[in-house]
């Protein structure tokens, strides 16, 4: 790690910081408030807690928009004479660098949401990551939404019996009122995503509906990977590494379905274990070569 680098891996559930030989965790990003002041506050907090000055601040941020990807504005917000450089990127970039370093291939990061990033010889492609309303196929939210759909189909007589119904009744004893309770809940997205865990458990236990949802989720995630790789492939014989990270891959059946789809691909691909995590990718931003395909997706400002 380059000395003096303060690296930030910022997500909605938590913000990880590596600085001065320490790993620190801060509360997650608040999406209802401006982003850059939050990142500046985290940088100041990390310097205060470690007692080590920072020469550079690097950050990979979940859901970073084009408008927010302004390293110069963040440098001004930090307003620290010791900080001479700020590097800002979407967390799909830092997830890739953490998992595959300088390799070529695709990383699919699937938790409550999902985003896939592929890097070829000279091209980059991002697939999905469009949020729970417009995308995130195969994510924890997607799985939870499919689970609740299956529960209500059984309730109506439109679908087969499933052990997921008993799980739903633990939260909503009267299923006829469940949709009202859910639609009025401020945390309805996380409530829906929370059903991904019982889907994984019940799929292992043999519930056919949960198994079907799990297999389809693995297929969706593999489809995103293949779509991204086709967009960056330079020639038919190009070899790619594929790495899967995130909570949904804790499901053995989902991993198996995902791996099966990848193995059947006409692309030359190999599943590999991640080299590191998002925070490692945030550290790597400090040394990202200007000619790297991902360099165009990174905002850099220097004092």
124-176 confidence digits (pLDDT tens): 999 998 888 999 999 999 999 999 999 999 999 999 999 999 999 999 999 99
Average pLDDT for the chain: 94
Indicate the burial class of 173 (C-beta count within 10 angstroms; 0-12, 13-18, 19 or more): exposed
Q: How confident is the model at residue 34 (pLDDT cuts 50, 70, 90)?
A: very high
Residue 120, SS3 per DSSP: coil
Q: Domain holding 221: CATH number? A: 3.30.420.40
Task: Provide the pLDDT for residue 62.
Answer: 85
Residue whose C-alpha is closest to residue 3's, from 288, 277, 287 = 287
Rg (CA), the chain: 21
Claim to verify: residue 50 and residue 140 sit in the same structural domain = no
Please report the sign of the dihedral spanned by the C-alpha atoms of residue 288, residue 291, residue 292, residue 293: positive
Are residues 112 and 261 both part of a single domain? yes
55 shares its domain with 185:
no
255 and 285 inside one domain: no
Same domain for 59 and 167, yes or no, is no
**What is the DSSP pairing of strand 22-26 with strand 15-19?**
antiparallel
Q: Whole domain around residue 135: which residue ranges?
A: 102-274
86 and 122 belong to one structural domain: no
Q: Residue 1's pLDDT is what?
A: 55
Number of domains in the chain: 2
Cβ neighbours around 41 below 10 Å, total = 14
For the segment 262-289, the average pLDDT, to the nearest whole number, is 94
Q: Is 91 helix (H, G, I), strand (E, B) or coil?
A: helix
Q: Record the tokens describing residue 258, joined without a space.
A: 């995902």
Task: Let me know whether 242 and 152 are in one domain.
Answer: yes
DSSP state of 240: E
Q: What distance in Å separates the CA atoms of residue 199 and residue 163, rounded to the nearest whole number?
A: 9
Residue with tokens 């004479």: 81
pLDDT digits (tens, 9 = 90+) for 7-28: 999 987 789 999 989 999 999 8
Query: In this structure, are 174 and 264 located in the same domain?
Result: yes
Confidence of residue 236 (pLDDT cuts 50, 70, 90): confident
Q: How is residue 168 written in tokens?
A: 């739903």
Report angle CA 29, 31, 33 to the nearest 5 degrees: 95
117 and 91, same structural domain?
no
Per-residue pLDDT for 2 more than 70? no
> Is residue 113 located within the same domain as residue 232?
yes
Residues 54 and 131 in one domain: no
How long, in residues, is the chain?
303
Based on the domain organization, do 39 and 145 belong to the same domain? no
Instruction: Give the separation between CA 266 and CA 201, rounded to whole angstroms.
Output: 32
């Amino acid at each position: 790690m380059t000395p003096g680098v303060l690296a930030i891996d910022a997500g909605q559930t938590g913000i990880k910081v590596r600085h001065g030989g320490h790993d620190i965790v801060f509360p997650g990003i608040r999406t209802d408030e401006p982003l850059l002041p939050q990142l500046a506050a985290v940088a100041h907090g990390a310097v205060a807690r470690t007692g080590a000055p920072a020469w550079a601040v690097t950050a990979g941020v979940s859901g970073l928009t084009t408008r927010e990807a302004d390293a110069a504005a963040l440098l001004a917000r930090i307003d620290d004479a010791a900080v001479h450089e700020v590097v800002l990127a979407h967390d799909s970039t830092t997830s890739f660098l953490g998992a595959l370093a300088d390799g070529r291939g695709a990383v699919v990061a699937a938790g409550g949401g999902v985003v896939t990033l592929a890097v070829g010889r000279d091209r980059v492609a991002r697939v999905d990551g469009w949020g729970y309303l417009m995308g995130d196929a195969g994510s924890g939210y997607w799985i939870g939404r499919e689970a609740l759909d299956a529960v209500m189909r059984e309730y109506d007589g439109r679908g087969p019996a499933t052990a997921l119904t008993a799980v739903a009744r633990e939260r909503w004893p009267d299923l006829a009122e469940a949709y009202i309770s859910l639609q009025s809940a401020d945390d309805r997205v996380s409530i829906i995503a929370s059903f991904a865990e019982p889907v994984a458990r019940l799929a292992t236990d043999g519930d056919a509906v949960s198994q079907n949802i799990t297999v389809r989720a693995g297929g969706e995630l593999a489809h995103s990977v293949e779509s991204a790789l086709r967009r960056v492939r330079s020639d038919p014989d190009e070899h790619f590494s594929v790495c899967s990270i995130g909570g949904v891959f804790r499901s053995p059946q989902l991993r198996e379905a995902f791996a099966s789809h990848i193995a059947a691909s006409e692309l030359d691909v190999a599943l590999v274990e991640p080299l590191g995590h998002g925070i490692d990718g945030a550290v790597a931003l400090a040394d990202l070569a200007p000619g790297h395909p991902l360099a165009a997706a990174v905002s850099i400002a220097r004092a």
